[in-house]
């Protein structure tokens, strides 16, 4: 979720120098009021001025802003890693034909155009679908990079355990 994406983003912007990334996260920890269980769980305290800043997925930050809370959304100049939403067909599924139709629909413009219509703050993957205007304005100028999902998957357990041991206390 949010925390793991943030950890791997920090590792990536430090050219995978984990010691440097963890040194930064330990220093940052001194200014962290609370780590929430839910990635979007801290947006309301920010909106109510009960906390000064937070790290969230853009979906959660924009939803809070759209609900009328006075929040400013910004991005680190070093950049942010992306999170990918996925859909898959399970081997041995009872209705593979219906599953394939769902995959085709969700990857296509018909479904992804619904993001803007229903204010779902996802960046569409389909090249013919335009990003909703308020989302496009917020991400304009942001340096967004992909996280190597294969590397992150292979190292997730080790990195998260290190974060719990070295950063969380």
pLDDT in tens, 11-61: 999 999 999 999 999 999 999 988 888 878 889 999 999 988 888 888 899
SS3 168: coil
pLDDT in tens, 65-110: 999 999 999 999 999 998 888 899 999 999 999 999 999 999 999 9
Kindly report the CATH number assigned to the domain that includes residue 13. Answer: 3.40.190.10
Q: Are 112 and 93 in contact (CB under 8 A)?
A: no
pLDDT in tens, 141-168: 999 999 999 999 999 999 999 999 999 9
Q: Is residue 104 part of a domain?
A: no
How many CB atoms lie under 10 A from the CB of residue 47? 18
Q: Using CA atoms, how far apart are residues 163 and 23, in angstroms rounded to an integer?
A: 11
Residues near 113 by Cβ (< 8 Å), separated by ≥ 6? 124, 129
**Helices (H), ranges, the chain:** 2-13, 18-29, 43-47, 58-66, 96-107, 109-112, 114-117, 133-139, 149-166
Tell me the whole-structure pTM to 2 decimals. Answer: 0.82
Q: Is residue 127 part of a domain?
A: no
Q: Is residue 16 part of a domain?
A: yes
Please indicate whether residue 91 or residue 1 has the higher confidence score (pLDDT): 91
Total domains present in the chain: 1
Q: Is residue 89 part of a domain?
A: no
Q: Is residue 69 part of a domain?
A: yes
Q: Is residue 12 part of a domain?
A: yes
Q: Is residue 105 part of a domain?
A: no
Q: Is residue 100 part of a domain?
A: no
How many CB atoms lie under 10 A from the CB of residue 53? 12
Range of the domain at 28: 2-84+132-166
């Amino acid at each position: 979720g949010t925390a793991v994406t943030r950890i791997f983003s920090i590792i990536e912007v430090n050219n995978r120098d984990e010691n440097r990334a963890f040194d930064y996260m330990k220093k940052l920890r001194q200014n962290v009021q609370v780590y929430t269980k839910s990635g979007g769980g801290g947006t309301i305290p920010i909106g109510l001025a009960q906390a000064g800043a937070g790290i969230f997925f853009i979906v959660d930050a924009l939803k809070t802003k759209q609900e009328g809370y006075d929040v400013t959304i910004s991005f680190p100049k070093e950049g942010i890693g992306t999170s990918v939403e996925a859909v898959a067909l399970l081997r041995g599924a009872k209705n593979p034909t219906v599953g394939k139709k769902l995959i085709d629909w969700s990857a296509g413009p018909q479904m992804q155009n619904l993001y803007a219509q229903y204010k779902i703050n996802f960046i569409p993957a389909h090249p013919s679908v335009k990003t909703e205007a308020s989302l496009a304005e917020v991400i304009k100028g942001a340096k967004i990079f992909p996280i190597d999902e294969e590397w992150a998957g292979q190292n997730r357990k080790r990195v998260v355990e290190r974060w719990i041991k070295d950063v969380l206390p």
